[in-house]
Amino acid sequence: MPEPHGALAQQFEDLEQQHESATLGMWLFLITEIMFFGGLFAAYAVYRSTHPEAWHNGSRHLDVVMGGINTAVLISSSLTMALAVRAAQLSKKTALLANLALTIAFGAVFLGIKAIEYHHKLEAGLVPGRFFTYVGPDLDHLQLFFLFYFIMTGMHAFHMVVGLVVLAVLVVMTLKGRLLGDFYKPVELTGLYWHFVDVVWIFLFPLLYLIGRHG
Amino acid sequence: MSTHVASVRLLLTIFVMLLALTATTVAVAYFDFGRVNIVVALSIAAFKSALVVLYFMHVRYGSRLTWVFAGAGFLWLVLLLVFTFGDYLSRPWESVTAW
User: In this predicted complex, what is the ipTM?
Assistant: 0.92
Question: Any chain B CB within 8 A of the CB of A57?
Answer: no
The answer to whether the beta carbons of residues A183 and A87 sit under 8 Å apart is no
Confidence tier at B1 by pLDDT (50, 70, 90): very low
Looking at residues B75-95, what average pLDDT do you find?
86
> What is residue A136's predicted lDDT score, i.e. its pLDDT?
86
Distance CA A193, CA A30 (A): 7
Looking at residues A100-126, what average pLDDT do you find?
97
The answer to whether the beta carbons of residues A178 and A60 sit under 8 Å apart is no
Q: Is the pLDDT of residue B26 over 60?
A: yes
> What is residue A161's predicted lDDT score, i.e. its pLDDT?
98
Confidence tier at B4 by pLDDT (50, 70, 90): confident
Looking at residues A39-53, what average pLDDT do you find?
93
> What is residue A4's predicted lDDT score, i.e. its pLDDT?
56
* A-B Cβ pairs (cutoff 8 Å, strict): 149
Q: Is the pLDDT of residue A206 over 50?
A: yes
> What is residue B99's predicted lDDT score, i.e. its pLDDT?
52
The answer to whether the Cβ–Cβ distance between B80 and A75 falls below 8 Å is: no
Distance CA A63, CA A25 (A): 38
The answer to whether the Cβ–Cβ distance between B69 and A82 falls below 8 Å is: no
The answer to whether the beta carbons of residues B61 and A22 sit under 8 Å apart is no
Closest to A157 (Cα-Cα) out of A83, A74, A80, A75: A74
Distance CA B86, CA A49 (A): 13
Q: Is the pLDDT of residue A2 over 80?
A: no
> What is residue A3's predicted lDDT score, i.e. its pLDDT?
55
Tell me the shortest Cα–Cα distance from B78 to chain A, in angstroms: 9
Q: Is the pLDDT of residue A91 over 70?
A: yes
Minimum-distance CB partner of A31 among B41, B72, B84: B72
Q: Is B34 exposed, middle or buried (0-12, 13-18, 19+ CB in 10 A)?
A: exposed
Which residue segments constitute the domains of chain A, with CATH numbers given? Answer: 15-210 (1.20.120.80)
The answer to whether the beta carbons of residues A152 and A197 sit under 8 Å apart is no
The answer to whether the Cβ–Cβ distance between B96 and A48 falls below 8 Å is: no
The answer to whether the Cβ–Cβ distance between A24 and B65 falls below 8 Å is: yes
> What is residue B97's predicted lDDT score, i.e. its pLDDT?
63
Q: Is A172 exposed, middle or buried (0-12, 13-18, 19+ CB in 10 A)?
A: exposed
- Cβ neighbours of residue A145 closer than 8 Å, sequence gap 6 or more: A47, A51, A54, A55, A57, A58, A59
> What is residue A210's predicted lDDT score, i.e. its pLDDT?
95
